[in-house]
Amino acid sequence: MSHWLPLVIYLAIGPIAGGLLAGWDRRISARMQSRRGPPILQPFYDVLKLCQKQNLVVRRGQNFYVLFFLLLVIFTGGLFFAGSDLLLVIFALTLAAVFFVLGAYTASSPYSFIGAERELIQMMAYEPMILLTAIGMYMVTKSFSVHDIAAHGTLLVLALPGIFLGFVYALEIKFRKSPFDLSSSHHAHQELVRGITTEFSGRALAMIEVAHWYENVFLLGWVYLFFAAWPLLGVAASLLVFGFVIFVDNVFARLKWRATIRGAWAVALALGFGNILALSLLHHW
Amino acid sequence: MLTLLLLLILVPFAAGACLLGVRSDLLRRILVAAVTLAVCCGTVTLVVLPTGVKLMGPSLHHHWFSLASLAIEIAMALYVLYVGVRARHPLIVALILAQAGLMIWFEFKLGSHLEVAGNLFVDKFAVIMALINGVVGGGICLYALDYMRQYHQGAHPEIADRRPLFFALLFVFMGAMFGLIFANNLTWLMIFWEMTTLCSFVLIGYTQTDEAKRNALRALWMNLAGGLAFAVAIVLFCRHSGSGELQTLIASKPSLALLPAALLCFAGITKSAQLPFSSWLLGAMVAPTPVSALLHSSTMVKAGVYLVLRMAPVIAHTRVGLMVALVGGLTFVIGSFAAITTSEAKRVLAYSTVANLALIVLCGGLGTAEAVWAGVLLIIFHAVAKCLLFLCVGVVEHKLHSRDIEAMSGLIQKMPRVAVMMLIGMAGMFLAPFGMLISKWAVLKAVVDASPTLSVFIVFGSSATLFFWAKWMGKLLEVFQPGEPVKSELALGESIAIYGLAAATFCACLFFPLISSRFVEPYVQGVYGQSASLGQGNLIIMGLMMVIVLLFPISFIHYGRGVKVVEPYMGGANLPSNVGFLGSAGATQSAVTHNYYLRALFNEAWLSRWGVIFCAGLLAAMVVVAWL
């Protein structure tokens, strides 16, 4: 039963929490830029409004991909909160992201095409670090199961400091935040039209938003895993990481793709792999 | 059972001999279809029959056999010598003289003293390999019927029509592969091994253009180097142990068999086109597509990894194993990076083959039960999906007269059937819940359990894999310039092969638990006394994902309902043609899209140069370490 409780909570509360987080994001960002900012509930108003809009498409098939993107993101988060295999969660996440990218390709506009290509570059940039994170957690807890990792007695972050930092770096890319918002930015001033979402409108765009809410909650859940032995600390750390991501988002301008991938891979090698190397050396002694 | 094995080996040879004399297209069609059907039935029977590890030998006194095998060896050596001399290729001449001299000396000196209890054997692994060889190879032969007709009548009229030779060699190749899979006598194994080398040499050089000749010679010398290592391994092992059996070799302790096993791994690495030998497989693309498909999926390269996986128990937990694993890991990363940089479809496929085989080699090098389990799974899934992709690319090449990925833009609209089949093949190569991903997952788990630091190769390599497949999929899906759909996309033989393989890609995933529990796990259990599996819960989740993916095409029932179609945003006033727009100051701007190839980040030449240097060093180290 305890297996199912987090799953049910995630499915029900996930979008609400995600929407609220998005609202705070906009409010905090506004304050950092000396603006008042919208109400906290603004993301919900946006999505409701989007749902009432006309469905404009360039290619008739494009919105099906978005629907499956949403379904698979929910599925991914569901797997995570149901406590299943971490690697499987990553693969499901990849599948979801590929659906999104293929939808943008199908839309056949130059801007969504570039957005899709750049989204792929971003995926290539963060994927190694995400996988290394799962491997690091496995080395400490001897299990890939989220359930077992969460039930592990010690603070994972103590054994995995490098991996934790690398993971936060990868999150920056995964959240599509500056300086790694190549595929689609929230900030109008550094956007190439609207990147990967250029040709999506109405309900499809609303689905993309909701998918991001689900996704963000799931990713913060993963941050929590590093601190799962002390639940309160875990929640605080997740929120702190989210705040940090917002801060970085507002401080940096967008990087070029080459710098993005080089940086992300260098971090994955130095912090992620370095940590794993250290762990296995310690293990041998 | 013995009869079945012999039939599987001999029927393709006989068919090859017949086809050499058949010039009529109709007769060839009937013959090829009949033999393919027979071989498929044979392998399926083999699958259905209960098999443990069985040693068996034709009861004839093996003196006769060794004479016959000696004769075949000498004949093949003479042919290679002739080729080498005529092409003025001193390396080939030297390699074949060394190898043939060694083997002849060996036959006279030791041949009659060797104990060989069974010349043939069959176990679950062999059954799987036979099934791939029979069914996938058979599919390629059917496909080749239509493909080669179009090849000579439409696409390449300038090339001499040598189809009788071509089809004869396809079947000889298949027969040799069966022989290689079932051989327990190491000398026989070596003969079949060299036969596949020769067949691939002739098939790669089929067009007889300068490039083809050059690449065929390169394939020949690289594989001969492997052949020489094979010969040395046999001589060493037989002198030490007095036995000439593969099964004895596998069961030997590393102290006795490490050097022979290391040399056999070297041979396997040359044949499966790992760095530093990967260039022969890339060069092999000059051959007609069925040859590429055959080399990449069911025969040739699979023979190499088959041998490496067979050696896994011997080299497990040794330095030799570590070297083999490192070669595999490096090749995986470099192959995957190189695949990003090229826009030629067949070259991408070739790099992807090199990379995936590298994963199998990595598994063989680790040599744990879990790793071998993952390696066998990779062989199965890779064969099916890669063959499908090659066959599709071949069709597209004939219809669009290009094998550039950029030219495949909008294929979903021009050739919807082939495009969908290609998408299935690609999804099969890298997406959950398809087979290749299941096996990559298994590989990752095996690596993390055996030696977590090696996982660094896998995580970087597989993220590159994701990039080059997904952008290719995107290229097929985007339709900037709606064009005329191509008429009659697929001929009969082609559609049987392509649809069959696409169905197999799905079935291999759906029946994955069955394949694993009935064939792969018993094999691993037999060798190691323990086995691996994915666990019930994970299988259910994979099943759920499969259901979601299968729902996707069904959702297209709603295709086009409730939406309003508009022009894409171009940053100006769109022109009617949809490929351009009216920009500022009334200037007409055209819109073109190209995939990213990231050549500023990954340099193909640089990657392969350093890959060759590093892996050559590793291989040298491997032999030295085994020697000590």
Chain A: residue whose CA lies nearest to B468: A120
pLDDT digits (tens, 9 = 90+) for B189-228: 999 999 999 999 999 999 888 999 999 999 999 999 999 9
Query: Which of B265, B283, B315 is the last residue before a domain boundary?
Result: B315
> Of B129-133, B153-157, B442-446, which gets the smallest average pLDDT?
B153-157
CA neighbor of B519 nearest in space, from B94, B22, B87, B124: B124
Range of A269's domain?
4-284
pLDDT at B113: 66
First to last CA, chain B: 42
Q: Per the structure block, which two tokens stand in for A5?
A: 């409780």
Residue A271 has pLDDT above 60, yes or no: yes
What is the dihedral sign for C-alpha B237, B242, B245, B251? negative
Is there a contact between A199 and B556 if contact means CB atoms under 8 Å apart? no
CA distance B122 to B52: 7
pLDDT digits (tens, 9 = 90+) for B531-546: 777 777 888 888 888 8
Q: Per the structure block, which two tokens stand in for B502?
A: 């696409």
Q: Is B279 on the interface with A (CB under 8 A)?
A: no
- Cα B22 to chain centroid, rounded: 29
Residue A60 has pLDDT above 90, yes or no: no
Torsion of CA B295, B300, B302, B303, to 10 degrees: 170
Residues 186-205 of A with CB under 8 A from B: 193, 198-199
Q: Which residues of B touch A262 (CB under 8 A)?
A: 601
Residues 135-194 of A with CB under 8 A from B: 135, 138-139, 144, 193
Greater confidence, A182 or B385? B385
Which residue shows structure tokens 């929490």?
A17
On the question of a cis peptide bond just before residue B254, with omega within 30 degrees of 0, the verdict is: no
At residue A81 the predicted structure's pLDDT band, cuts being 50, 70 and 90, is very high
Domain identity same for B337 and B419: yes
Is there a contact between B560 and A193 if contact means CB atoms under 8 Å apart? no
Q: Is B553 on the interface with A (CB under 8 A)?
A: no
pLDDT digits (tens, 9 = 90+) for B19-33: 888 888 888 899 999
pLDDT at B359: 93
pLDDT at A188: 65
On whether the CB atoms of residues A117 and B471 are closer than 8 A, the answer is yes
Is there a contact between A55 and B600 if contact means CB atoms under 8 Å apart? no
**ipTM given for this complex:** 0.94
Range of B477's domain?
317-556+571-628
Domain identity same for B391 and B295: no
- Count of structural domains, chain B: 2
Residue A104 has pLDDT above 60, yes or no: yes
Residue B341 has pLDDT above 70, yes or no: yes
Span B103-114, mean pLDDT? 76
pLDDT at A26: 92
Q: How far is B196 from chain A (nearest CA, A)?
A: 37
**A133, burial (CB in 10 Å: exposed 0-12, middle 13-18, buried 19+):** buried
Is there a contact between B448 and A110 if contact means CB atoms under 8 Å apart? no
> Of B123-132, B179-188, B557-566, B575-584, which gets the smallest average pLDDT?
B575-584
Residue B564 has pLDDT above 50, yes or no: yes
SS (H, E, C) B538-591: HHHHHHHHHHHHHHHHHHHHHCCCCCEECCCCCCCEECCCCCEEECHHHCEEEC
- Identity of the residue in A57, A108, A193 whose CB atom sits nearest the CB atom of B571: A193
- Count of structural domains, chain A: 1
CA distance A29 to B283: 55
Residue B172 has pLDDT above 80, yes or no: yes
At residue B304 the predicted structure's pLDDT band, cuts being 50, 70 and 90, is very high
Span B411-434, mean pLDDT? 90
Q: Is A96 on the interface with B (CB under 8 A)?
A: no
Domain identity same for B301 and B329: no
Domain identity same for B350 and B311: no
Domain identity same for B465 and B612: yes
How many beta-carbon pairs under 8 angstroms link A with B? 185
pLDDT at A253: 84
Residues 406-445 of B with CB under 8 A from A: 431-433, 437, 441, 444-445
On the question of a cis peptide bond just before residue B50, with omega within 30 degrees of 0, the verdict is: no
pLDDT at A20: 95
pLDDT at B62: 60
Q: Per the structure block, which two tokens stand in for A249?
A: 């988002």
- Is position B63 within any domain? no
Query: Which of B283, B299, B315 is the last residue before a domain boundary?
Result: B315
Domain identity same for B368 and B278: no
Span B116-140, mean pLDDT? 87
Span B113-141, mean pLDDT? 85
- Identity of the residue in A85, A106, A258 whose CB atom sits nearest the CB atom of B477: A106
Q: Is B538 on the interface with A (CB under 8 A)?
A: yes
Q: Is B569 on the interface with A (CB under 8 A)?
A: yes
Is there a contact between A58 and B568 if contact means CB atoms under 8 Å apart? yes
pLDDT at B361: 94
Residue A1 has pLDDT above 50, yes or no: no
Pairing, β B564-565 against β A56-57 = parallel
Specify the 3-state DSSP secondary structure of B39. Answer: helix
On whether the CB atoms of residues B496 and B142 are closer than 8 A, the answer is yes
Domain identity same for B149 and B234: yes
Residues 599-618 of B with CB under 8 A from A: 600-601
Span B407-429, mean pLDDT? 90
CA distances from residue A248 to A31, A240, A252, B108 in whole angstroms, order as listed: 14, 12, 6, 76
- Identity of the residue in A94, A106, A117 whose CB atom sits nearest the CB atom of B471: A117
Phi, psi of B183 (to 5 degrees): -70, 135
Choose, out of B413, B420, B541, B542, the residue to mutate when testing the contact with A (most A CBs < 10 Å).
Answer: B541
CA neighbor of B410 nearest in space, from B493, B457, B474, B501: B474
Q: What is the DSSP string of A79-98?
A: HHHTT-BHHHHHHHHHHHHH
At residue A197 the predicted structure's pLDDT band, cuts being 50, 70 and 90, is confident
Choose, out of B409, B453, B465, B478, the residue to mutate when testing the contact with A (most A CBs < 10 Å).
Answer: B478
Residue B400 has pLDDT above 50, yes or no: yes
- Is position B399 within any domain? yes
Query: Which of B268, B298, B315 is the last residue before a domain boundary?
Result: B315
On whether the CB atoms of residues A97 and A184 are closer than 8 A, the answer is no
DSSP secondary-structure letter at B245? B
On whether the CB atoms of residues A20 and A40 are closer than 8 A, the answer is yes
Torsion of CA B359, B364, B285, B191, to 10 degrees: -170
Choose, out of B436, B459, B471, the residue to mutate when testing the contact with A (most A CBs < 10 Å).
Answer: B459
Residues 33-92 of A with CB under 8 A from B: 54-61, 63-64, 67-68, 71-72, 75, 79, 84-85, 87-88, 91-92
On whether the CB atoms of residues A135 and A247 are closer than 8 A, the answer is no
Is there a contact between B568 and A261 if contact means CB atoms under 8 Å apart? no
Adjacency order of strands within the sheet including B573-574: B573-574, B580-582, B588-590
**B591, burial (CB in 10 Å: exposed 0-12, middle 13-18, buried 19+):** buried
Domain identity same for B104 and B243: yes
- Identity of the residue in A59, A87, A139 whose CB atom sits nearest the CB atom of B441: A87
Choose, out of A4, A58, A121, the residue to mutate when testing the contact with B (most B CBs < 10 Å).
Answer: A58
Q: Which residues of A touch B568 (CB under 8 A)?
A: 58, 107-112, 198-199
- Is position B502 within any domain? yes
Q: Which residues of A touch B437 (CB under 8 A)?
A: 91
Q: How far is A95 from chain B (nearest CA, A)?
A: 6
At residue A167 the predicted structure's pLDDT band, cuts being 50, 70 and 90, is very high
Is there a contact between A68 and B552 if contact means CB atoms under 8 Å apart? yes
Is there a contact between A128 and B459 if contact means CB atoms under 8 Å apart? yes
CA distances from residue B538 to B441, B535, B542 in whole angstroms, order as listed: 11, 6, 6
> Of A22-26, B5-9, B84-88, B252-256, which gets the smallest average pLDDT?
B252-256
Q: Average per-residue pLDDT in chain B?
A: 87
Domain identity same for B547 and B440: yes
Is there a contact between B474 and A105 if contact means CB atoms under 8 Å apart? yes
| Exposure on the CB side of residue A135, measured as CA atoms within 13 A | 34
Q: Which residues of A touch B480 (CB under 8 A)?
A: 108
- Is position B62 within any domain? no
Chain B: residue whose CA lies nearest to A272: B456
Residue A50 has pLDDT above 70, yes or no: yes
CA neighbor of A129 nearest in space, from A86, A88, A163: A163
Non-local (6+) Cβ contacts of B46 within 8 A are: B4, B5, B8, B122, B127, B130, B131
Cβ neighbours of B451 (radius 10 Å):
18
CA distance A44 to A15: 10
Domain identity same for B350 and B286: no
On whether the CB atoms of residues B391 and B498 are closer than 8 A, the answer is yes
- Is position B564 within any domain? no
Greater confidence, B154 or A131? A131
DSSP bridge partners of B54: B122
Domain identity same for B270 and B180: yes
CA distances from residue B335 to B225, B272, B458 in whole angstroms, order as listed: 22, 13, 12
Specify the 3-state DSSP secondary structure of B163. Answer: helix
Is there a contact between A120 and B466 if contact means CB atoms under 8 Å apart? yes
Q: Is A284 on the interface with B (CB under 8 A)?
A: no
Cβ neighbours of B557 (radius 10 Å):
7
Q: Is A127 on the interface with B (CB under 8 A)?
A: yes
CA neighbor of B516 nearest in space, from B497, B535, B502, B529: B535
- Is position B374 within any domain? yes
pLDDT at B569: 79
The angle that helices B369-400 and B124-131 make with each other, rounded to 10 degrees, is: 10
Q: Which residues of B touch A60 (CB under 8 A)?
A: 559-560, 563, 565
CA distance A244 to B611: 40
pLDDT digits (tens, 9 = 90+) for B222-267: 999 999 999 999 888 888 887 788 888 888 887 778 899 999 999 9
> Of A117-131, A198-212, B555-569, which gets the smallest average pLDDT?
B555-569
Q: Which residues of A touch B594 (CB under 8 A)?
A: none
